[in-house]
Structure 1
Amino acid sequence: MMIDYDEFSMFGENISEYSLKVSARPKVERVSCSLSDGRTLSALQWGIQSPEIVFVHGSAQNAHTWDTVILAMGISALAIDLPGHGHSSWRSDGNYEPSVLASDVATAIETWAPKTRLVVGMSLGGLTTLALAGQRSDLVSSLVSVDITPGVNSEKAKAITDFVNGPQSFASFEDLLARTIEHNPTRSESSLRRGILHNAKQQTDGTWQWRYDRSTHPSPQDTTKRLERLSALWDVISRLSCHMTLVRGGTSPVVDDADVAELKRRKPDCDVIVVDGAGHSVQGDKPVELADALTRILAD
């Protein structure tokens, strides 16, 4: 059976599940722009004003991962689909490292959110926005990294990569949902169901495939090398001129105490917020708490 999908039809579920106080249906539109190499970059633009906040998702996610957070904040925002994810084009070279992705995020901000006051990135998105702050400090006045530092390694990220490196296709939606639930024990089934509809596509034969680019998925050995290259971003943190906040998932293994200590050594004025009960995907596990934290940061 084919399942109908309308990416703007499920906001009512987000609102109901988290008892959000939303007075009217939010104005959300999908926007896209052409990049110099012919690729398309896509994003969700929330509200009628110029976005005050920009969100960048993690690996194997998409812009809709921020839906509940943005609904809870009730703010004009831009949520970007990174290249190779969501509705953005895949890269022919398969290079999705933060230093490469940062230039596309810069284009998105210049195009749709030139007045943004806060840039928020989670996991791969957090490393990408950190690289962006190093390359284009004029675009980042305040930075929030969600459960990620350059200290991430294969061991810390194992639970995530085990899920991402799983099958590309599934015989049914139920099979895909079952695997997703298995690897995301802190999330509600309803939120995972919505997430799959946004992050996978049903094929004409009824099977399901992930939307994100896995065609050049790195081997475990190459993944280790890529993670080692991320350590250069510690030097970016040392040079940051903007304010930085780390939001750490209270139950996540991805950021440990040693990472926080190194972060504070590199940037002593960095704020650290721990969200109790949240795993790596803080926006999925505790979206209202994350929204509250971001609202406070914007108010400072």
Structure 2
Amino acid sequence: MIEVRGLTIRYGGTLAVDDLTFTVKPGSVTGFLGPNGAGKSSTMRAVLGLETPDAGEALVNGRPYTDLRRPLRTMGALLDAAAVHGGRTARAHLGWLARSNGIGAGRVAQVLEQAGLAGVADRRIGGFSLGMKQRLGIAAALLGDPAVLMFDEPLNGLDPEGIRWLRGLLRSLADEGRTVLLSSHLMNEMALTADHVVVIGRGRLIADAAMHALAAHFRGDVLVRTPRPDQLAGVLRAHGAAVVREDDGGLSVRDLDAAEIGELALAAGIALAELSPRGASLEEAFLRLTGDSTEHRSGGR
């Protein structure tokens, strides 16, 4: 497991992580979410011993990462795909990592193949695209066949095929009983991949819940289609509903459930062609949870 207990990190007068506590358990993909500046990267760096906390601790299988004798065999991580020596080849880069942890050369060939890099294994990394560097970083994380894995924004730079490959890889790792922590700003992909989510804002824990429970916590809307949308919208607004006309002519209705809408339409003699409740998406849930924690907000028109 990954355990974060009362973690507090300050940079000068800035409190980056504020008494943060959560646990990442095996057998599932845990999404680590938060706005820019929320403290996600600082937390992940602390897990790897790259940040010294002002208070609290971050443990891997009950121990600080820096106490692990051959850490790649316990935990694999990718924090920055660009943090590689451009003059080395992909094979040489993985080779020295393997030797540092007592891992054989045969495993290097296996992860190069697994990451789709076997054909470019002897090319210098400086000529790699960002997507190829991401694949190389993922290969490095897999090198020691660890039970715990952590990835910070691994989808950046991947093409659609690469995103689909990584999604399948993460799911298969979790299905094998491994612990997987994934940070990403791509909410649609996170919704497809993660089983559980940890949401932070301004360094503090906002939510720690199963994916389905998080979206269900926030009421969605009801899609309504009718030959008389303007009349129905007036009736619904008169009863406290928020109604928005969608581009295709449908009505998005909030603050009334489907049964209430149907009863009001029947009483007004308005026929309905569709009445479909829609749950809140992960993106909507995330925005509602973190609305007060976003440092940089775009202005509306």
TM-score by length of 2: 0.27
More strand per residue: 1 or 2? 2
- Greater relative CO, 1 or 2 (CA 8 Å, sep 6+): 2
TM-score by length of 1: 0.27
